[in-house]
Amino acid sequence: MTDSKKLPGKIEESDDGQILFSVPFPEELSPEALQALKGMRPIIIKQPYAIDYIHSYGQDSPFFAGLAGGTLLGCRDLETGYTYANPRSHDMYTGEPTDWVQLPEQGRIHAFTVCHFGSEEFLPQTPFVLILVELEGADTLLLSRLVGVDPDEASLDWIGMPVKARFLRNSKFKPTDVYFAPSE
């Protein structure tokens, strides 16, 4: 190592992050004190953890751009006419590429469930209602959320209920940018 390239002699410290005070530790490290450390209770720290995750929607990008613009897009196999309510770049039967098609914003509830627990993002919103929506012209169902009903009063009468798509005003570019409400 040359004198012109000196390495730091110590790591700079700051007071951000986790700081523990008064951690129990013997002042003198006698053999008995060192042996007693085996019985020390664990130090438990709760610490937030965040990470920026960069990903791409790839060939599904038009679906999310459509949601941001207040439009439901699906995919259709040109040969068979089979239409998916979710983005799908290739037909599951023929493997042929699909084309984008606009789907109607009105549909009917095919099935539903009331969620009393959810992932960290959705836990504060529980209970909420998940629905499978039948859209005219689509051969598959669209999974979404239903608002405007009381989850505590769920009823089989909801099956077949007409619903209308609504879109978040400020798109998050997530599948949850679209949700449904009972048609008025």
* pLDDT of 182 above 60: yes
What is the band of 44 on the pLDDT scale with cuts at 50, 70, 90? confident
Mean pLDDT of 177-181: 95
* β pairing state of 98-102 and 73-77: antiparallel
pLDDT of 179 over the 80 cut: yes
Quote the mean pLDDT of the chain: 89
β-pair partners for 142: 133
Beta strands in the chain (DSSP E): 73-77, 83-84, 98-102, 106-115, 128-135, 142-146, 162-167, 178-182
Q: How far apart are CA 155 and CA 129, in angstroms?
A: 11
* Mean pLDDT, range 78-89, rounded to an integer: 94
d(CA 105, CA 169): 16
Residue 51 has pLDDT above 70, yes or no: yes
Calculate the alpha carbon distances from 99 to 72, 78, 88, 138, 142 in Å: 14, 7, 9, 13, 18
